[in-house]
């Protein structure tokens, strides 16, 4: 099995006709993802990548029966796109866009409260259930169907971890990039809960980084609820305080958000925390073997 997305997901692309969206939607289609159409205001009625384009998400849902969307619209309009997708009742919305103003995301986040929609991202590579469905910008070929769930705040560092797993012959159930921004839809705890409940996920990889306290919260959740082996890594052990390390959310501020605190909390919760990113695969292998 897998979580959140699978071969039955019916996916819309918001900002469908843009350059990045066109390229990545094409890659998703090639992987077998059921992209049922796209949304671009003002381009309703046209065809793109042999699929219908709609002016609004609501119209697209009505015509295609879509339940999922992926957002590639520019930062200034992305929060609005998230809210439009939620208003149309989509179950899963994946926002790839990087650089959305925090104030906009705060509003979108509030808009999502009390609604059924699950937002993944923003500023994330997306989500893939290997062999079934890829919704995002991750390279498909490094993945392999299997039983390890991967959740991460980073993009390429996730690819690194997945690549190591696949080289060791260890497949993945679902890999979720939750995003590098301070305000995100799906948290570590959300993903851990879903992986914990998924019968075919046998181990979990959790990749965090400096900034905020989401990893500490996740560690407390693991200690209380998760019985499956969890292997973790925290990026930014050498990052200077007060500096934003690429991701908007990756900053040590006011004495909080330090890598050392996160690692300590995770270890105390029984999570196997890797000293270097190079050993994520082998640590998972060891935990799966029962050591």
Partner 1 sequence: MKIHEYQAKALLAAYGVPVPRGEAAFSVEEAEAVARRLGGSVVVKAQIHAGGRGKGGGVKVARDAAEAAELARKMLGMTLRTHQTGPEGRVVQRLLVEETLPIERELYLGIVLDRAQGKPVFMASAAGGMDIEEVAAKTPELILKESIEPGLGLQPFQARKLAYGIGLAGETAGAAVKLMLGLARAYEGLDASLAEINPLVVAGDGRVIALDAKINLDDNALFRHKDLVELRDRNEEDPLEVEASGFDLNYIKLDGTVACMVNGAGLAMATMDIIKHFGGSPANFLDVGGGAKAEQIRNAFHILLSDRNVRAVLINIFGGILRCDTLATGVVAAARELNVQAPIVVRMEGTNVELGRKILLESGLNFTLADGMKDAAEKVVRLAQ
Binding residues (CB under 8 A) for partner 1: these are: 27, 75-76, 99-104, 106-107, 109-110, 137-139, 141-142, 152-160, 163, 180, 182-183, 207, 209-210, 212-214, 217, 233, 235-240, 242-250, 253-255, 275-279
| Dist. CA 121–CA 148, nearest whole Å | 21
Q: If phi over 0 gives left and psi between -120 and 50 gives alpha, with beta otherwise, what is residue 136?
A: left
Q: Rank residues 240 and 290 by Cβ distance to partner 1 and give the closer one.
A: 240
Least distance to partner 1, CB of residue 157, Å: 4
What ranges make up the beta strands (E) of 85-211?
Answer: 92-95, 118-120, 126-129, 133-136, 145-152, 172-177, 203-209
Least distance to partner 1, CB of residue 214, Å: 7
Q: Rank residues 18 and 44 by Cβ distance to partner 1 and give the closer one.
A: 18
Chain centroid, CA 55 distance in Å: 26
SS3 190: helix
Least distance to partner 1, CB of residue 18, Å: 15
Q: What is the CA radius of gyration of the chain?
A: 18
What ranges make up the beta strands (E) of the chain?
Answer: 11-14, 35-39, 47-48, 51-54, 68-71, 92-95, 118-120, 126-129, 133-136, 145-152, 172-177, 203-209, 230-235, 272-273
Quick check: is 163 catalytic? no
Q: Rank residues 84 and 160 by Cβ distance to partner 1 and give the closer one.
A: 160
Least distance to partner 1, CB of residue 243, Å: 5
Q: Which two tokens stand for residue 10?
A: 């019916």
Q: Rank residues 25 and 60 by Cβ distance to partner 1 and give the closer one.
A: 25
Least distance to partner 1, CB of residue 173, Å: 20
- Neighbour-count burial for 179-210, b at 16+ CB within 10 Å, e otherwise: bbbbbbbbbbbbbbebbbebeebbbbbbbbbb
* Given 24, 48, 143, 247, the catalytic residue: 247
Q: Rank residues 104 and 198 by Cβ distance to partner 1 and give the closer one.
A: 104
For the annotated catalytic residues, the residue numbers are 247
């Amino acid at each position: 099995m897998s979580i959140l997305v699978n071969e039955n997901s019916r996916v819309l692309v918001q900002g469908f006709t843009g350059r990045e969206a066109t390229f990545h939607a094409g890659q998703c289609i090639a992987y077998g993802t059921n992209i049922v159409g796209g949304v671009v205001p003002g381009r309703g009625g046209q065809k793109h990548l042999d699929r219908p384009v709609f002016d609004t998400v609501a119209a697209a849902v009505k015509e295609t029966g879509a339940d999922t969307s992926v957002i590639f619209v520019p930062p200034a309009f992305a929060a609005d796109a998230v809210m439009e997708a939620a208003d149309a009742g989509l179950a899963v919305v994946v926002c790839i866009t990087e650089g959305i103003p925090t104030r906009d995301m705060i509003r979108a986040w509030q808009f999502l409260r009390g609604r059924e929609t699950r937002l993944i991202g923003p500023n994330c590579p997306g989500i893939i259930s290997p062999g079934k469905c890829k919704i995002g910008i991750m390279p498909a070929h490094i993945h392999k169907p299997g039983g390890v769930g991967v959740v991460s705040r980073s993009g390429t560092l996730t690819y690194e971890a997945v690549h190591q797993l696949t080289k060791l012959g260890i497949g993945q159930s679902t890999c979720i990039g939750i995003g590098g921004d301070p305000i995100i839809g799906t948290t570590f705890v959300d993903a851990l809960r879903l992986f914990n409940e998924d019968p075919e996920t046998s181990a979990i990889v959790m990749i965090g980084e400096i900034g905020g306290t989401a990893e500490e919260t996740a560690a407390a959740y693991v200690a209380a609820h998760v019985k499956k082996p969890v292997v973790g890594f925290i990026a930014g052990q050498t990052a200077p305080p007060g500096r934003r390390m690429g991701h908007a959310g990756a900053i040590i501020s006011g004495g909080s958000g330090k890598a050392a605190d996160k690692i300590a909390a995770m270890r105390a919760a029984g999570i196997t925390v890797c000293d270097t990113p190079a050993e994520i695969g082998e640590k998972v292998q060891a935990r799966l073997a029962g050591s």
